[in-house]
Structure 1
Amino acid sequence: MASYTLTLSDGTGLKLRPLTRADLFRIESIEAQAHTHPWSVDSYEDCLGGRQQCWVARVGNDVVGCTVFTQSADESELLNLVVAPRWQGKGIGRSLLNFVVTQVAPRAEVLFLEVRVSNQKAITLYSASGFIEVGRRKDYYPAYEGREDALVMMRRLAG
């Protein structure tokens, strides 16, 4: 099983490896803490059986986040990126995003993503990482009251 070790800015080792079904309980908990409308275990299971790449991030024995992305032809899409709230602000989200870019860049010209218009932390991260807004999907996400728009963002890759 492939795995990678990254070093966060404070020197902490971040280990990345493919997500397994054994990780789903912990990821479900992180999703519930981090998002108002989290991905379900079923969504992750569908990804595990599909063409998506699913990676889990660990610090020591703690599962601290994960990412899901896909690629077809010369385009790729970041489907999900989540970091446990108590681990946010330590560079894990940026490290996961950079990892996705390094994985897809050799074969893709662009990386797309959708993000809730209310998720300012994520929009700031994506913008700082070279993503630009290229569209908006009206009423894309469920919200507590009605629906919420998604920003469509894109980053050009070296390809």
Structure 2
Amino acid sequence: MTHNIVPLQSHHLDDVWRIEQAAHAYPWAESLIRQSPNKIAANYGLEVDGKLVGYCFGQLVAGEATLLNIAIDPAFQGKGFGKVLLEGFLAQLEQQQAEEVWLEVRASNVCAYQLYEALGFNEINRREGYYPSPTGREDALIMTYMML
């Protein structure tokens, strides 16, 4: 099984939209997924044997990167591909001289939180009631990663 981190291209967007809807209880709007990337975009996909199985949307400005959205196709979850994608994202940012990376994660998303923590992200703050949830609102945990 071969996997590659690739810049997201327009031909990936149908798969990105399908994965976005399947992987997130509150998906981004399709217009955001299909929006043309601007010069600060850092959008990558994970291809396994030529098939897009995950993606991430990020941005990089003056050495500070933000991971805006990340997802793995539910059919491929639990196989380590989230780690592969996130490590690939960090490697791409490092090549572009990023100094730090920020992200937010739902407090209830324990698997993602544990992955981020395992890769060196540290929780530094909390936004109370930031995300919608089935029971009302839930907190966003703000995490940061410092490039070495």
**How high is the TM-score relative to the length of structure 2?**
0.89
Q: Distance in 2 between matches of 1:53 and 1:119?
A: 23
Other-structure match for 1:53: 42
Note if 1:116 corresponds to 2:144.
no
Other-structure match for 1:148: 138
Q: Distance in 2 between matches of 1:105 and 1:50?
A: 17
Other-structure match for 1:131: 121
How many residues of Structure 1 are paired with residues of Structure 2 in the alignment? 147
Q: Distance in 2 between matches of 1:140 and 1:21?
A: 31
Does structure 1 retain, via aligned residues, the 8 Å contact 2:44–2:89?
no
Does structure 2 retain, via aligned residues, the 8 Å contact 1:78–1:112?
yes
Letter in 2 for 1:31: E
Q: CA RMSD in A?
A: 1.7
Report Cα offsets for 1:44-63 as digits up to 9, x if no partner.
Answer: 23362452121122212422
**How high is the TM-score relative to the length of structure 1?**
0.84
Runs of 4+ in 1 over 6 A off after TM superposition: none
CA spacing shift, 1:130–1:67, aligned 2, 3 Å: same
> Percentage identity across aligned positions?
36
**Structure 1 residue runs without a partner (length 5+):** 1-11
CA spacing shift, 1:94–1:32, aligned 2, 3 Å: same
Other-structure match for 2:147: 157
Letter in 2 for 1:124: Q
CA spacing shift, 1:59–1:42, aligned 2, 3 Å: same
